[in-house]
Structure 1
Amino acid sequence: MAFVVFNLLAAAALIGIDQAIKLWATNVLQPVGAMPLIPHVVELRFVLNPGMAFSLLSGKQLFLIIATSIALIFVAYGLFFRSRGRYLQQAALLLILAGGIGNLIDRVLNGEVVDYINLLFMQFAVFNFADICVCVGVGLWVLVIFLEELHAENGQSPKEQ
């Protein structure tokens, strides 16, 4: 039971952080458009994204909501039923779940996602905290899979991280 409660509280905290930052961006950043965070490196720029990364599938909100919901059900299943005692996998799935829910909330309530982090030193999409959670989570998940394969090749059972 503690495992489930911890994961629910951790997900709620990450979702809360995401939604609080988006609320701040809407109330403070939207009126000014953009402000420097680290001059010539990163700025905070208010952008409403009607699609997914790089505005792909813009205008396909119902599809994005359904596809995201289905994916998040699988992620939640993995988190709550398959990752007990596997801390790196648990962290990965928790980040993916929280980030996915954070952006899903925007998509369902507003029809678009609030983005606000703009990298000035390269051409890249404007993104948000939820996107960071999802990307870091996927990176950790890839690492988990790689480590499991590495241990399987060596005939060892993977050690818990």
Structure 2
Amino acid sequence: MNNILKKNIWFWLIGFSNLLLDQISKYWVMKSFIEIGDTIPFLPRIFHFTYVINTGTAFSFFEGGVIWLRWISLGISIGLIVLSLFGEKMKVLEQLGYGFILAGALGNGVDRFFFGYVVDFLDFRLINFPIFNLADISINFGIILLFIVNFYPKSSSNLFR
């Protein structure tokens, strides 16, 4: 089993370290804020920590869909774990990309299973962007890395092995 985990070590390191950071940050928010909607300006009118809950996906799409979204999060997480355990050894950037997506899917999935909603708190007011969390960042960063892996010129792909 040890060799199976070592095969895609960056997947596991990124996946579980970012899951831990996501869950610690959400715990901090839930313990530091008294009510949903409370905010702490870090850079006033630019960036705040604002405690909100989300029963949907990114940008509150599918609001109230937490029941089926929790199962999608679980399915994606299980699929990525199976891919890492039983698939080929991935390039480093693939491992990182899938690891970030695993962290985000598990992070928001844990919230959906245990609370019935996702805790969001990163509030960029300068651009009036929807409030999000570290799991959301992980998913987006993972997708960007996978785009790089798939669209980077093949002649240079050896740089990422």
TM norm structure 1: 0.85
Q: Distance in 2 between matches of 1:51 and 1:135?
A: 17
Structure 1 residue 74, shift from structure 2 partner: 2.6
Tell me how far 1:2 sits from its aligned partner: 5.0
Letter in 1 for 2:129: F
1:75 correspondence with 2:80: yes
Q: Which runs of 5+ in 2 are unaligned?
A: none
Aligned to 2:96: 91
Contact 1:3 1:84 in 2 (8 A): no
Match of 1:24 in 2: 28
What is the number of equivalent residue pairs in this alignment? 155
CA distance in 1, matches of 2:23, 2:157: 36
Q: Does 1:38 find its partner at 2:43?
A: yes
Question: Given the two structures, how large is their TM-score scaled by the length of structure 2?
Answer: 0.85
Aligned to 1:159: 158
Identity of aligned residues (%): 27
Superposed structure 1 runs of 4+ greater than 4 Å apart:
none
CA pair 58-75 structure 1, distance change in 2 beyond 3 A: same
Question: Unaligned 5+ residue runs, structure 1?
Answer: none
Aligned to 2:5: 4
Q: Kindly provide the CA deviation profile for residues 39-65 of structure 1, in whole angstroms up to 9, marking residues without a partner as x.
A: 221100000111111111111222111
Match of 1:115 in 2: 120
Q: Distance in 2 between matches of 1:104 and 1:117?
A: 18
Q: Would you say the 8 A contact 1:83–1:90 is kept in 2?
A: no
Amino acid at match of 2:158: K
- Of structures 1 and 2, the one scoring higher in RCO (CA 8 A, sep 6+) is 2
Which amino acid letter does the alignment assign opposite residue 111 of structure 2?
D
CA contact (8 A) 2:122 2:133 kept: yes
After superposition, the C-alpha distances for 1:14-71 in whole angstroms (9 at most, x for unaligned) are 2111111101101103448101122221100000111111111111222111222222
